């Protein structure tokens, strides 16, 4: 099992494909396996590195609370361990927050940035409705199968849940391989609550694409508009027909958007 020693923890990682390195960072409650809709396509052109964040699945936890900056430093440690020179960075949800901190604090360590379904945090973010946030928090604090099923409409477009239930079922099946308990989920949630990059976003120097689903109820698309406005030169892509899990709801459209953007960086 490939692991990198990063300070007091070990991070599980996988490498797929060859070419320019592309490091992909997952969000709250998910792990490297959840990139199943992206890895087969993106690894045909890039050396794709996926990993489990601290405390998730096959990675260890040193104890104590989590912060987004701490997880950005974990990611930096992985770049060092794998001797990656200015990789491309792709962060989803909480992973997008981690990617923001990485790009702000270590601008010389990356050559391009994709931020998907994420927000700047703090008082300037566009919050979900109270109903959506309560359902999601119940999933975080309880982490029971019932709470996770109840939270599905916060993650997926309800239309897709009704018409293509297999999309959510496949995601849930992946999650059951390494179920996250309420202790780790709560620490990740508290890290998200402490995230705030709004004032520092103009410091991001890497070419950036911001991607969102048009029906994201958990992190509303207005957050992506803020990121695209605040990050110099950022490109905004809104994909129709999906919610917070747009990457698995509309993988072809998302993968094509990512590949097209990354190809522009080759010119």
Instruction: For CA atoms 255, 93, 212, 244, give the dihedral sign.
Output: positive
* Residues of the chain scoring pLDDT < 50: none
Per-residue b/e over 134-166, b at no fewer than 16 CB within 10 Å?
ebbbbbbeebeeebbeebbbbbbbeebbeeeee
Q: What is the pLDDT of residue 163?
A: 96
Residues belonging to the chain? 267
Could you tell me what percent of the chain has a pLDDT over 90?
A: 93
> What residues are paired with 213 via a beta bridge?
239
Summarize pLDDT for 208-243 with one digit per residue, the tens: 999 999 999 999 999 999 999 999 999 999 999 999
Enumerate the domain spans of the chain.
3-264
Q: What is the pLDDT of residue 149?
A: 86
The rounded distance, in Å, linking the Cα atoms of 2 and 221 is 36
**How do beta strands 112-116 and 88-92 pair?**
parallel
Q: What is the pLDDT of residue 59?
A: 98
Q: What is the pLDDT of residue 197?
A: 99
Phi–psi pair at 242, nearest 5 degrees: -165, 160
Rounded to 5°, the CA angle 136-139-140 comes to 90
Q: Coil, strand, or helix at residue 150? A: helix
- Checking phi first, is residue 13 left (phi over 0); if not, alpha (psi -120 to 50) or beta? beta
Q: What is the pLDDT of residue 150?
A: 87
Q: Coil, strand, or helix at residue 85? A: coil
Q: Name the CATH architecture for the domain at 3-264.
A: 3-Layer(aba) Sandwich (3.40)
Q: What is the pLDDT of residue 241?
A: 97
Q: What is the pLDDT of residue 267?
A: 65
The rounded distance, in Å, linking the Cα atoms of 110 and 233 is 16
């Amino acid at each position: 099992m490939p692991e990198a020693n990063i300070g007091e923890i070990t991070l599980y990682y996988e490498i797929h494909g060859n070419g320019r390195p592309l490091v992909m960072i997952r969000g709250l409650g998910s792990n490297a396996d959840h990139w199943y809709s992206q890895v087969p396509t993106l690894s045909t052109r890039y050396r794709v590195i996926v990993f489990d964040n601290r405390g998730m699945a096959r990675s260890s936890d040193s104890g104590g609370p989590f912060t987004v900056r701490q997880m950005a430093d974990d990611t930096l440690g992985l770049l060092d361990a794998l001797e990656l020179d200015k990789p491309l960075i792709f962060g989803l949800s909480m992973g997008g927050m981690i990617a923001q901190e990485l790009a702000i604090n270590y601008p010389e360590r990356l050559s391009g940035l994709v931020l998907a379904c994420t927000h700047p945090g703090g008082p300037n973010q566009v919050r979900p409705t109270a109903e959506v946030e309560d359902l999601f928090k119940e999933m975080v604090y309880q982490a029971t199968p019932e709470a996770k099923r109840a939270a599905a409409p916060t993650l997926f477009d309800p239309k897709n849940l009704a018409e293509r239930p297999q999309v959510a079922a496949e995601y849930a099946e992946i999650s059951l391989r390494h179920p996250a308990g309420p202790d780790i989920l709560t620490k990740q949630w508290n890290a998200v609550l402490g995230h705030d990059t709004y004032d520092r976003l103009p410091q991001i120097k890497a070419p950036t694409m911001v991607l969102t689903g048009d029906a994201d109820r958990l992190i509303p698309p207005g957050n992506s508009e803020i990121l695209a406005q605040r990050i110099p030169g950022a490109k905004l892509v809104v994909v129709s027909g999906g919610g917070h899990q747009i990457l698995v709801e509309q993988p072809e459209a998302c993968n094509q958007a990512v590949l097209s953007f990354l190809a522009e960086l080759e010119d």
